Structure 1
Amino acid sequence: MSLTIVSLLPSLQNTNGDAENAAVLAARARWAGLDAVVAAVERVEDLPERVDAVVLGSGSDASLDRSRQALLGLHDHLRRWGTEGVPILAVGTGWELLSWGIELPDGSTVEGLGIVAGRAVPAAARIAGDLVVKASGGLGTLIGFENHARDYVGAEASPIGRVQAGTGNGRGSGQEGVRMGDVLGTHLHGPVLAKNPRLADLMLARMCERAGLDYRPGERTARVDEYAEAARSAQLRAAGVAASAHA
């Protein structure tokens, strides 16, 4: 059996390299001795027969309408995957498009798909810099960088975790992201799965559980994770977060 990771709209939603989260999952699966492929899906006709995980990256505001139109054709599939426990990772505007909606500075609104709770609203100023999050549910500390012009409200009951450095969802919430079952939305760029191997492995474990496979990180995974740990430690120091807090 081959695991299939769907990368949604990579031509529109990859401004920060976030679509490459799919490649991270596929590589780690292969290092564990499993077959894995990445399927680029720009429209519903591109969907493979089997979907084991979904990655949706971030795009520019100029592509919001085009991305939304493309995602509307996949709405029923996204909702079904979410209820069936297929791991879905959405980053930046990809996450915002799965929300209730996006409010723009001119007062107009881009209606979201309603897959996750909350909505994006204009921030007082663009937010950019290191982001460190103490996550719940076995995710440990997540690191990356944030670069967004909107806050996120309405997800206070289901965040990924608490912000240790940076802004996250904003509006004084001290929270970052949204987590609803196996659907995760986040501001973390990086790509987030390359900088946070624990999150990648939890997604892979869930994928394999659903597929009736056993996931055990391979020998090469351990070597690669040494580089990720060095990068994490450097970013934690730059963000002023104590190394002891990153477990």
Structure 2
Amino acid sequence: MTLTIVSLLPRLQNTNGDAQNAHVLAARARWAGLEATVVDVESAQALPSRVDAVVLGSGSDSALEPSRAALLTMHDELRRWGTEGVPILSIGTGWELLSWGVELHDGRSIEGLGILPGRAVPRAGRVTGDLVIAAPRLGALVGFENHARDYVGAEGSPLGRVRAGHGNGRDSGQEGAVMGSVYGTHMHGPILAKNPVFADHLLSTIAARSGQEYTPGEQARTVDGYAAAARAAQLAVAGVSVPVS
């Protein structure tokens, strides 16, 4: 059985290369001996008949409204996938669009799809820099944050606790939002390339749902060595010692 990984709106939602998380999943699946393909989806008409995972990257604020319009045509599918346990990884504005809504600096609001709890609200200034969190069952995750909004209303379901960086902000000490197998995060990187443990966690879920087993392949070990070195350097710069608890 071929695993189908959907990259949603890669033309509009890929300013930080986050759409490449879909290809990270597909590559690691193939290294494990599983068949996998990535399908770029820009409209509901392009949705494949089977979807095993979804990646929605981040875009510019100018893309918020056209991206929302496109996502609304897939609202029922997104909600069904979330209910059925299909892993959905959303980053940056992609995450914000799956929330309750996005409040802009000019006073306007963009209604979200309501797939994840919480909403994005303006902050005084843009935050950029290294972001390190401690995530349950995943340990230390590293990435780069670059956002001009905080995120409120997800205090009961964060991806992890902030150890360096800003995260959701408003003194919450938290980063991201999780609802079942639906994930939202500020972490660019792409996050799955920098954090293979997160990629493997998602792949275990994907494989199990299709009646298969996932065990990282031999080639993954080599690539994971590069990721570990990059992570160690970023943790050192951020002044965070591992393991993070």
TM-score range, shorter chain: over 0.9
What are the equivalent positions in structure 2 for 1:83-232 lying under 5 Å apart?
83-136=83-136, 138-232=137-231
Contact 2:4 2:39 in 1 (8 A): yes
Whichever residue aligns with residue 87 of structure 2, its letter is: P
Q: Deviations over 1:97-152 (max 9, x none)?
A: 0000000011110110000000000011100000000011x111110000000000
Taking the aligned partners of 2:243 and 2:201, their CA distance within structure 1 comes to 20
Judging changes above 3 Å, is the alpha-carbon distance between structure 1 residues 159 and 199 closer, same or farther for their aligned structure 2 residues?
same
Match of 2:55 in 1: 55
Distance 1:215 1:157 in 2: 30
Which residue identity does 1:232 align to in structure 2? R
- Over aligned residues, Cα RMSD in angstroms? 0.8
| Consecutive aligned runs of 4 or more in structure 1 exceeding 2 Å deviation | 244-247
Q: Name the CA distance, whole Å, in 2 between partners of 1:181 and 1:38.
A: 23
Amino acid at match of 1:183: V
- Superposition deviation, residue 245 in structure 1: 2.5
- Which residue does 1:26 correspond to in 2? 26
Work out the number of aligned pairs and report it.
Answer: 245
Instruction: Give the SS at the match of 1:173.
Output: coil
Cα contact 2:129–2:165 (8 A) shared by 1: yes
Alpha-carbon distance between aligned partners in 1 of 2:63 and 2:127, rounded to the nearest angstrom: 20
Distance 1:57 1:170 in 2: 20
Query: In structure 2, how many angstroms separate the alpha carbons of the residues matched to 1:150 and 1:50?
Result: 34
Contact 2:139 2:243 in 1 (8 A): no
Tell me what 1:245 maps to: 243
TM-superposition CA deviations, 1:221-244 (whole Å, max 9, x none): 0111000000000000010101x3
2:68 match: secondary structure: helix
Question: Displacement of 1:180 after TM fit?
Answer: 0.6
- Using the alignment, how far apart are the partners of 1:142 and 1:87 within structure 2? 18
- Name the structure 2 match of 1:45: 45
What is the SS of the residue equivalent to 1:167? coil
Percent identity over the alignment?
Answer: 68
Match of 1:245, SS?
A: coil
> Alignment partner of 1:11: what SS?
coil
User: Equivalent residue of 1:34, what SS?
Assistant: coil
> What does the per-residue CA deviation read over 1:35-82, in whole Å, with 9 as the maximum and x for residues that have no partner?
000000000010011100000000000010000000000000000000
- 2:30 match: secondary structure: helix
Q: Residue type of the partner of 1:174?
A: G
Alignment correspondent of 1:9:
9
Q: CA offset at residue 246 of structure 1?
A: 4.5
Question: Is the contact made by 2:10 and 2:57 (CA closer than 8 Å) also made in structure 1?
Answer: yes
Separation (CA, whole Å) in 1 of partners of 2:244 and 2:193: 16
> Please, what TM-score do these two structures have when normalized by structure 1?
0.98
> Residues 9-57 of structure 1, C-alpha deviation per residue, up to 9 Å, x if partnerless?
0000000000000000000000001100000000001001110000000
